[in-house]
Amino acid sequence: MDPGGIIPHMTILRHNAPMSKTNNTDLPIGIFDSGVGGLTVLKAIRTELPKEDLVYLGDTARLPYGTKSPISIERYATQATAKLQEQGIKLLVVACNTASAVALDALQQQMSPLPVIGVVDPGATAAVKARAGGSHLVLATEATVRLRAYHEAILSRDPGAIVREQACEMLVSLAEEGWTDGDIAERIIRRYLEEASDDGFTPDSIILGCTHFPLLKDAIRAVAVDEVTLVDSASTTAAFVRETLEADGACHRSDTAGSLRFLATDGATRFARVGGHFLGEALAPDDVELVDL
Ligand code: DGL
């Protein structure tokens, strides 16, 4: 149990859970991110599926992924997935936009026949739903932008849409540092938005195409034009996870709240401190188990 009682309805498991048979509905959902940003996705899944056990792996030793080459990102993502497979999971959520953009196909092969859900497709679905035929500005990491992942995902759903992508690496650091509002955050955001719109481009929607950017929502809203819709993929991803489990008859049949388990590749104290901002609840270093990939 959480020692401070801060997470009252969840059991936090600190040690290796027994390995169970694959495709067992009682197995946890595995959630993987390069760091703690994916905890925003975990939070949405927990709201959508409160009875599911969740095991989260943050590859904090190798964060950030967004500035790395596709070869390294795919290698890191397959190693992280292997670690979650070792724990026994029934479905993998790739909560990291960068890993989703680069390595989703490789991870789907690795997990086959079990399902793998990334965040780019749900984000594109949410954007098209919010503004069909609209113009979208995707804020993401360098690697996600380089691969034009959102561009393709949106146009495949809505060929009339206009998509522009802007790499915003510094926003990752701002969110990690907890500088998510006020003058510094707003000036940096303004600089990125101006860079994306220097030819007069005015988006109908801004897609938060990085795990860290939901924390900067208020600052982005303060800088962007009033009419713009902010699109966050976390809740759409969580809904998609529920639909997938339901379709596969793989929902947990328990009546009690699910457990949470946190794995990280480095820095339990930092994971707990920074992760608490993303989760919206305090975490203790003892809640985080360090693993090697
Ligand atoms: N998790 C990454 C993403 O969503 C952001 C942090 C990183 O670059 O690793 O793209």
Centroid of ligand 1 to alpha carbon of 141 (angstroms): 7
Centroid of ligand 1 to alpha carbon of 212 (angstroms): 7
Inside any domain, residue 48: yes
Catalytic positions, written as ranges:
96, 210
Please work out whether the CB of residue 141 comes within 6 Å of at least one atom of ligand 1: yes
Closest CA to 103 of 43, 42, 59, 41: 59
Provide the whole-model pTM.
0.90
> Whole domain around residue 249: which residue ranges?
29-118+236-290
Please work out whether the CB of residue 108 comes within 6 Å of at least one atom of ligand 1: no
Q: What is the pLDDT of residue 226?
A: 83
Helix (H) or strand (E) holding 191: helix 182-196
Q: Is the same domain home to 64 and 133?
A: no
Indicate the range of 3-17, 113-127, 161-175, 255-269 predicted with least confidence: 3-17
Q: What is the pLDDT of residues 191-217, one digit of tens each?
A: 999 999 989 899 999 999 999 999 999
Residues 126-143: what's their mean pLDDT? 95
Rounded CA separation 276/16 (Å): 22
Please work out whether the CB of residue 205 comes within 6 Å of at least one atom of ligand 1: no
Q: What is the pLDDT of residue 85?
A: 97
Q: Is the same domain home to 225 and 155?
A: yes
Q: Which two tokens stand for residue 64?
A: 């950030």
In the predicted model, is pLDDT for residue 101 greater than 50?
yes
Task: Give the amino acid at 166.
Answer: Q
Centroid of ligand 1 to alpha carbon of 210 (angstroms): 6
Inside any domain, residue 64: yes
Strand partners, 136: 163, 205
Give the residue with greater pLDDT, 55 vs 233.
55
Rounded CA separation 4/223 (Å): 38
Residues 83-99: what's their mean pLDDT? 97
Tell me what percent of the residues of the chain surpass a pLDDT of 90.
Answer: 85
Per the CB < 8 A criterion, the answer to whether 67 and 273 are in contact is no
Q: Is the same domain home to 41 and 94?
A: yes
CATH code, 174: 3.40.50.1860
Please give the number of the atom of ligand 1 that sits closest to the Cα of 143: 10
Mean pLDDT computed over every residue of the chain: 91
Centroid of ligand 1 to alpha carbon of 64 (angstroms): 6
Helix (H) or strand (E) holding 117: strand 116-118
Total domains in the chain come to: 2
Helix (H) or strand (E) holding 261: strand 259-264
Task: Give the position of tokens 């789907």.
Answer: 108
Let me know the angle formed at the C-alpha of 275 by 282 and 223, rounded to the nearest 5 degrees: 110
Inside any domain, residue 87: yes
Residues 23-28: what's their mean pLDDT? 86
- Residue from 40, 62, 97 whose mutation best tests the ligand 1 pocket (most atoms within 8 A of CB): 97
Q: Which two tokens stand for residue 139?
A: 């804020």
In the predicted model, is pLDDT for residue 15 greater than 90?
no
In the predicted model, is pLDDT for residue 112 greater than 80?
yes
Rounded CA separation 70/67 (Å): 9
| Cis amide bond preceding 64, omega within 30 | yes
Please work out whether the CB of residue 210 comes within 6 Å of at least one atom of ligand 1: yes
Please work out whether the CB of residue 233 comes within 6 Å of at least one atom of ligand 1: no
Q: Is the same domain home to 108 and 240?
A: yes
In the predicted model, is pLDDT for residue 4 greater than 60?
no
Closest CA to 91 of 33, 18, 22: 22
Please give the number of the atom of ligand 1 that sits closest to the Cα of 212: 5
- Quickly state the pLDDT bin for 23 (edges 50, 70, 90): low
Please give the number of the atom of ligand 1 that sits closest to the Cα of 33: 1
Q: Is 257 exposed, middle or buried (0-12, 13-18, 19+ CB in 10 A)?
A: middle
Please work out whether the CB of residue 40 comes within 6 Å of at least one atom of ligand 1: no
SS3 111: helix
Give the residue with greater pLDDT, 172 vs 18.
172
Indicate the range of 79-83, 153-157, 167-171, 255-259 predicted with least confidence: 255-259
Q: What is the pLDDT of residue 176?
A: 86
Rounded CA separation 277/267 (Å): 16
Per the CB < 8 A criterion, the answer to whether 232 and 214 are in contact is yes
Rounded CA separation 30/212 (Å): 19
In the predicted model, is pLDDT for residue 6 greater than 90?
no
Q: Is the same domain home to 114 and 241?
A: yes
